[in-house]
Amino acid sequence: MPPRRSARQQHRTGQLGSSSQPILIPDSPSSIPVDSITTESTTEVTQKPSSIAILPSKLASQLPGLTKKGVKLLQFKQQQLQSPISQIHQLPDFCDPKDSAYPWLKEAVDATLVFAQEEAGTAVCISTEGLILTCSHCVAECPEELDMDKIWWLIFASGQIVQAKTVKWDAQRDLALLRIIAAQSPLSSPPHHSLASPSLANLSHLSFPHSTLASSPPKPHTRLLCVGHPGSEDLEVSHSGVQTGYDVLHLSTGRFRGYAKGQDVQDNSEIGALMHDCWTYWGHSGAPLVEMGGGGLVGVHSSWDDESGMRRGVGWVAIREFLGDFKDEKLDLE
């Protein structure tokens, strides 16, 4: 059997993205003109919006870009992530809170996001300003499908809902970069029932949890933590509607198993060049792979090989090159 991706729902029941305007307060950057640089496999927006807008703490039952089912799924995922029994809160089972690496791992968990629609994939925030890294095929499977104006709904591990736009997309590396343009406040605030004109001010000061790229590539057999969205529907059976029972975000550990022999580490267009053995499922694409020793982000999961069962991903070298080309915002790449 051929290699198989693990991100997007095979029988989509409604798309998350929408070319409609995001929910933004007046005078926020909802339609900033940008200059785009487009090649056969890479698209990038070069202008940075001036601020992040506030989303109401209580969202309406109808949201742009989401079906009614999609809104309910968004709310369900938020509730599950905020549940005290969610598996996302079981990091102490993997690392002693007294260990020096624990704060790094906790930050990586907190920085993980899920896309709102079912089986859509995972992402990780990599800057305090709200830059989000994921796989390109979580955003678009091909250049013809890509819409840089599409608004995406995502949810942090904490349950905080955000909206983001794609600012860079690279099909060959299988990487995409999104920027948060609107977010619920992480602090308690009065509910707002109007989506058209929320009264709160811009969150230009807001700082998001983020996972820093490691200073160097992982060594062979380095222990890894994977934080990913396994999805609620079993896509391995012949009929739809069978539930997996997995949590919205799942923690798993494994080891870095090197790179596929003969494969260009910068070419992950068919299957990821990085190899690892953390447990993953459909929806894990874009899931961060971080060193258990606290060294930082060393890859993102992207796919798996049906023949060998080996999990695949996009490695440190490809991520660094991809982010190094992004010049309009400071990133810690040291």
Q: What is the mean pLDDT of residues 309-313?
A: 92
Tokens 């992040």 locate to 52
Residue 193 in domain? no
Tokens of 285: 């694409």
Residue 135 in domain? yes
Is residue 298 within a helix (H) or strand (E), and if so which, with residue range?
strand 297-304
Tokens of 292: 């258990």
Question: Which residues are CB-neighbours of 164 under 8 A, at least 6 positions away?
Answer: 130, 132, 151, 152, 154, 178, 179, 180, 181
Residue type, 190: P
Residue 203 in domain? no
CA gap 79, 64 in Å, rounded: 20
Position 6 pLDDT exceeds 90: no
Number of residues assigned to the chain: 334
Q: What is the mean pLDDT of residues 187-196?
A: 38
Termini Cα distance of the chain? 40
Residue 29 in domain? no
Residue 294 in domain? yes
| Structural domain containing residue 157 | 65-186+209-323
User: What whole-number percentage of the chain has pLDDT above 70?
Assistant: 72
When the pLDDT of each residue in the chain is averaged and rounded to a whole number, the result is 80
Residue 267 in domain? yes
CATH code: domain of residue 277 = 2.40.10.120
Q: What is the mean pLDDT of residues 9-38?
A: 37
Residue with the bigger pLDDT between 76 and 17: it is 76
Residue with the bigger pLDDT between 61 and 231: it is 61
Residue 231 in domain? yes
Residue 192 in domain? no
Condensed to tens digits (0 to 9), the pLDDT of residues 92-111 reads 999 999 999 999 999 999 99
Which of these, 237, 229, 241, 243, lies nearest to 282 by C-alpha position? 229
Position 35 pLDDT exceeds 50: no
pTM: 0.83
Contact of 302 with 174, CB cutoff 8 Å = yes
Residue with the bigger pLDDT between 45 and 206: it is 206
The structural domain count of the chain equals 1
Position 265 pLDDT exceeds 90: yes
Which of these, 318, 6, 312, 8, lies nearest to 141 by C-alpha position? 8
Picking from 110-119, 176-185, 271-280, 284-293, which range would have the lowest pLDDT averaged per residue? 110-119
Tokens of 126: 């990599």
Condensed to tens digits (0 to 9), the pLDDT of residues 113-152 reads 999 876 579 999 999 999 999 999 999 999 999 999 999 9
Tokens of 168: 């860079």
pLDDT at residue 331, as a whole number: 67
Count CB-CB contacts under 10 A for residue 141.
14
